Chains A and B, each alone.
Chain A
Amino acid sequence: MTENTTGTNGSTGSSSPYGGLYTEGVAIADHKAPDGPIESKWTRRKFEAALVNPANRRKMSVIIVGTGLAGGAAAATLGEAGYHVKSFCFQDSPRRAHSIAAQGGINAAKNYKEDGDSVQRLFYDTVKGGDYRSRETNVYRLAEVSANIIDQCVAQGVPFAREYGGLLDNRSFGGVQVSRTFYARGQTGQQLLIGAYQALERQVAAKTVEQFTRHEMLEVIVDGEGAERRARGIIVRDLVTGEIETHLADAVVLASGGYGNVFFLSTNAMGSNVTASWRAHRKGAYMANPCYTQIHPTCIPVSGEHQSKLTLMSESLRNDGRIWVPKNREDCDKDPREIKEEDRDYYLERIYPAFGNLVPRDIASRQAKNVCDEGRGVGPVVGDFRRGVYLDFADAIERLGRDAVEAKYGNLFDMYARITGEDPYAVPMRIYPAVHYVMGGLWVDYDLQSSIQGLFVTGEANFSDHGANRLGASALMQGLADGYFVLPNTIRDYLAKVPKSDLTQDSPAVVEARQAVAERTERFLSINGERSVDSFHRELGNIMWEYCGMERSEEGLLKAIDLIRGLRDEFWRNVRVLGSADTLNQSLEKAGRVADFLELGELMCIDALHRRESCGGHFRAESQTEDGEALRHDDEFAYVAAWEFTPPSGEQEGVGAGMGTPVLHKEDLVYEFIELKQRSYK
């Protein structure tokens, strides 16, 4: 099954790879990170970035879309600095943003345990964890500011776990050998978000921040030509009144989160969506590495066709639980306690004797899918398969006693029991992988500015720090690093230099953007077809999961692209959205989001198709070692794939839908400070 990649795969040199699915454009690079030693780049950039006179700040306005860690922190910080900030979220309060659901913790290179941690080591671990597909300069800065985040959060009153002496507690997380993870029980995301939220609300009271809840961004306003093409505002829909509003500003920040819901089922919140990012992409912001998604192995399986979302359980469960499926398909519907030891396949222990049940997330996930695809999954049949494997604590309970297991995992067992109605102390748990996070996102430079001037992207919405796989406890770190410390320092350079705009509500660029939103909204309501928005979303999710999930192949991806195109075509002919545009209309909201997912899904498949290597969380069937392990190709693929949108040439023009042939721009990843290595877990 191995293959030597000799450049015949269409990814290099060809003018119309894969039958014209994409074309290749000029290479790009980040020009903002200063020269010099990596330790001094950020200090230098902060010094070189222009300042804005405090008296002028209130005359400068910044729009921030999203109120999670990245958006909420940035809005609060820019408000404190005295800028005029407009903060938008689609939820009923900024405190609902999905950062709130993060459980595990937040990394910081504090070295409070004196166990050898340092900025350098966090930097190294993060680049290695990302399988050498992230940008060194950005990751170093992330590690560098990580310690400040903890100080800031403690000052705000975030109740981190503490030891009896009153100092902060740390734990080791995600297989890392130092204890650098700060946590607040299983609710770290909630506590950090409430900290940022309170800082934000303080600025709302101080009138530096205007807060718009239940407002959804549906278009970005871009004005000017060539070197003067700049983001100047956004079009939003007031989700309560339906009014289409125009908001102009000197800069726009997207902190709108990840797009894991393209898979329909994920651990994301119901409302998490790609629309803000995708609308910006359609206006010229490059989308980088869209196929990089993280799939988490220990989620509660789907219980039936009604399933609306998936719930993650901490993967610490794999420390003591043993994963298995029946050896024989006939046993799959039996009570697991009645399946004899010799009829069980502890497949991770069998395939990976050294690491066993503690293999990395992507391997545990992929092998679970493999055994289910073989027909050896357990639990309810959903679609064609039983999609679940056992995570069995019987041995652990016998070895450690029930009390010890309860002390360690009690809250997780309770959560499992609540959702499934089964008692995990008596019957083995069932688990299955689920989409959890996306490393891909809008391309940004060192300043977190996208390929549209004046449009900045922070947090999960950008691509920059996690490469092809994200380490545990790093998402919260990145969101807050971007929001509190990076963006406020880089955006001022832009704000100090941006020429004043004479754009008004009546300028052509603004009217055009507003009309496009109104027309699109009317279009959804006028199709009046047979199928619900959810049914399209679910079908798209199945395609993505099957062909663009943990294991990808050329054949599968080509098929997926065909299926998605067909589905998108049907969507615009046959979706049924009832009600009107001038009230709260949740079906209408979903229609806009799913329409954008239907385009993103195709781009993800094209990106996955062109990346003919296994790396990070992604296994490419055509790129494996002789014993079936992931094989990376640094000679060919050590670059960021930044995709440029091209408009369609067809009937769907005018409603902001449809897509032409995307253009690939490569940003070469240069490793000056870290040596590239292949990983092995056998």
Chain B
Amino acid sequence: MNLTLKIWRQTGPNDKGGLVTYQVSDISPDMSFLEMLDVLNEELNAKGDEPIAFDSDCREGICGMCGLMISGHAHGPERTTTCQLHMRSFKDGETITVEPWRAEAFPIVRDLVVDRGAFDRIIQSGGYISANTGAAPDAHAAPVPKPNADRAFMAAECIGCGACVAACPNASGMLFMGAKITHLGELPQGQPERDARVVSMVNQHDHEGFGGCTNIGACSQACPKGIPQDVISQLNKDLRTALKHGH
């Protein structure tokens, strides 16, 4: 395959940045999208041009480190992570635009690399169950009804990649946050801190500069793990309950 790539280059946070056009040829349809970028980087390095910076780690679709806007779609045309996208999803001769996640809360570090530290800080604000090591009762002390356990698991599949934010016209992090609220809220262990958790996480989310949910559903569409939009309903419900309880 031969392709034209328009890739965002930006030397650092203070550089204005812009799209640069590259041609790649002899691309195998069996390559992953990131392997195609590896090939381009090898060519750039050989020519004396600095390779394009982009994040990836596990390349198995589970660590959440990779994430590119590919021709306007978070993680590209398929519902998967960027690392699991293969070149057979594109046509020979196609022009592909590659950009970083765009959101105020995810500042650009360099080229296609962004800083998603805001997600860590949202978790720090309450996305956990307080259970010091050694203080746990026997694992069978609190049975969990299977429907609740299954819904908790579904929400816990979130990999924290940030595609939901990148896809959202308002750069909202509410799918990410709602997934954690739902995961912990479905479990008996998560009840004692349920009210405090949602209030604290929502405050942090807004403080980081994420927007509010606008009910478009683009987040859920872009989510490589298929986290459904109803986790945002759960988030709103938990927030309303917490406020009613005087939080």
Contact = CB atoms under 8 A, between A and B. Distances in A.
B168 interface: no
Contact of B46 (A97, A159, A187, A532): A532
Interface in A154-181: 154-157, 159-168
B235 interface: no
B62 A190 contact: yes
A576 interface: yes
Interface in B76-99: 80, 84, 86, 88
Interface stretch (B184-192, B213-221, B226-234, B237-245): B184-192
A93 interface: yes
Interface in B27-44: 28-32, 34-36, 38-39, 42
21 contacts: A77-B132, A77-B133, A92-B65, A93-B117, A93-B119, A100-B63, A151-B136, A151-B137, A187-B62, A189-B62, A267-B60, A270-B58, A306-B31, A306-B36, A308-B38, A419-B86, A421-B86, A534-B42, A578-B48, A578-B49, A578-B51
A155 B32 contact: no
A152 B136 contact: yes
A205 B63 CA distance: 23
Given A91-B57, A100-B63, A578-B49, A307 B133 contact: no
A222 interface: no
From DSSP, what is the main secondary structure of chain B's interface residues?
loop
Closest 9 CB pairs of A and B: A166-B143, A155-B136, A198-B128, A155-B131, A151-B136, A159-B153, A205-B124, A303-B30, A154-B139
B146 interface: yes
Interface in B93-121: 109-110, 113, 115-117, 119-120
Given A166-B149, A586-B53, A204 B124 contact: yes
Interface in A345-389: none
A188 to B, nearest CB: 11
Contacts of A160: 149
A76 B50 contact: no
B146 A163 contact: yes
A202 B128 contact: yes
Contact of B65 (A91, A150, A163, A579): A91
A154 B128 CA distance: 12
Contacts of A281: none
B187 A157 contact: yes
A337 interface: no
Contacts of A535: 42
Given A157-B184, A189-B62, A419-B84, 7 more contacts: A101-B58, A155-B137, A166-B146, A199-B133, A201-B127, A306-B39, A586-B51
B177 to A, nearest CB: 14
Q: Give the contact-size bracket for chain B.
A: 35 or more
B201 to A, nearest CB: 11
A666 interface: no
Nearest to B152: A159
Nearest to A420: B30
Contact of B28 (A150, A303, A586): A303
B143 A583 contact: no
A76 B57 contact: no
Contacts of B160: 93, 95
B46 A578 contact: no
A661 interface: no
Contacts of A163: 146
Nearest to A311: B60
Given A98-B58, A269-B63, A418 B80 contact: yes
B56 interface: yes
A197 interface: yes
B45 interface: yes
Contacts of B28: 303-304, 306
B196 interface: no
A242 to B, nearest CB: 11
A34 B62 CA distance: 41
Contacts of B19: none
Given A94-B120, A151-B136, A578-B50, A159 B131 contact: no
Contacts of A150: 139
Interface string A478-500: 00000011001000000000000
B3 interface: no
A307 B35 contact: yes
Contacts of A96: 57-58, 63-65
A534 B42 CA distance: 8
Nearest to B34: A308
* Residue with the greatest number of chain A CB neighbours at <10 A, chosen from B12, B32, B63: B63
A191 interface: yes
B186 to A, nearest CB: 8
A541 to B, nearest CB: 14
A213 B119 CA distance: 13
Nearest to A534: B42
Contacts of A97: 63
Contacts of A185: 153
Contacts of B62: 100-101, 187, 189-190
Contacts of A201: 120, 123-124, 127-128
Nearest to B133: A77
A76 B133 contact: yes
A427 to B, nearest CB: 15
A309 interface: yes
B145 interface: yes
A80 B128 CA distance: 14
Contact of A165 (B132, B143, B187): B143
A157 B51 contact: no
Contacts of B34: 308
A578 B59 contact: no
A73 B136 CA distance: 15
